[in-house]
């Protein structure tokens, strides 16, 4: 099955809205401290065609991380190129737009029980660009 990802102005606007909300320190996610998890916070969720994306800036292990989960319907995992393209839309850096392997500073892990892929990248010096 081919699952299309359209990166148009509407998609960019949706992502920008999430990023603007997520970047406010009061909206950072802190595991064990923040009551509402990002997946249950509509301000941190977006659907890009059939890709459901949840993004947050997450404070963990003394670092600030970009944190993104992507799922698709049907119990499958998202296409790796679509996933990395979506990650770039959310500010992830370092992918060469060709490789099926994430950059060394990305964490990329499928989570079968949640039927999603989770990506994370620490922000240098904890600064949001």
User: Would you call 83 exposed, middle or buried from its count of C-beta atoms within 10 A (0-12, 13-18, 19+)?
Assistant: buried
Domain boundaries, position 111: 9-126
Whether residue 4 lies inside any domain: the answer is no
What confidence tens digit (pLDDT) does each residue in 61-70 have? Answer: 899 999 999 9
Q: According to the model, what pLDDT value does residue 90 have?
A: 98
d(CA 48, CA 126): 28
The pTM score is: 0.94
Whether residue 63 lies inside any domain: the answer is yes
Residues found in the chain: 129
What confidence tens digit (pLDDT) does each residue in 68-94 have? Answer: 999 999 888 899 999 999 999 999 999
The residues near 124 (Cβ < 8 Å, ≥ 6 apart) are: none
What is the total count of domains within the chain?
1
**Average confidence score pLDDT of the chain:** 94
Whether residue 2 lies inside any domain: the answer is no
Whether residue 3 lies inside any domain: the answer is no
Whether residue 53 lies inside any domain: the answer is yes
The residues near 30 (Cβ < 8 Å, ≥ 6 apart) are: 58, 59, 60
Q: According to the model, what pLDDT value does residue 76 have?
A: 86
Whether residue 80 lies inside any domain: the answer is yes
């Amino acid at each position: 099955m081919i699952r299309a990802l359209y990166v148009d102005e509407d998609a960019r606007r949706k992502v920008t809205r999430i990023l603007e909300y997520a970047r406010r320190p009061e909206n950072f996610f802190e595991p064990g401290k923040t009551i509402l998890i990002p997946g249950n916070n509509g301000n941190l969720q977006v659907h890009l065609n059939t890709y459901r994306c949840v993004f947050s800036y997450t404070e963990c292990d003394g670092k600030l991380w970009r944190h993104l989960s992507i799922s698709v319907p049907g119990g499958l995992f998202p296409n790796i190129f679509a996933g990395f393209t979506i990650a770039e839309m959310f500010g992830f850096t370092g992918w060469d737009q060709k490789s099926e392997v994430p950059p060394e500073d990305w964490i990329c892990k499928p989570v079968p029980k949640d039927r999603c892929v989770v990506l994370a990248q620490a922000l240098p010096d904890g600064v949001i660009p």
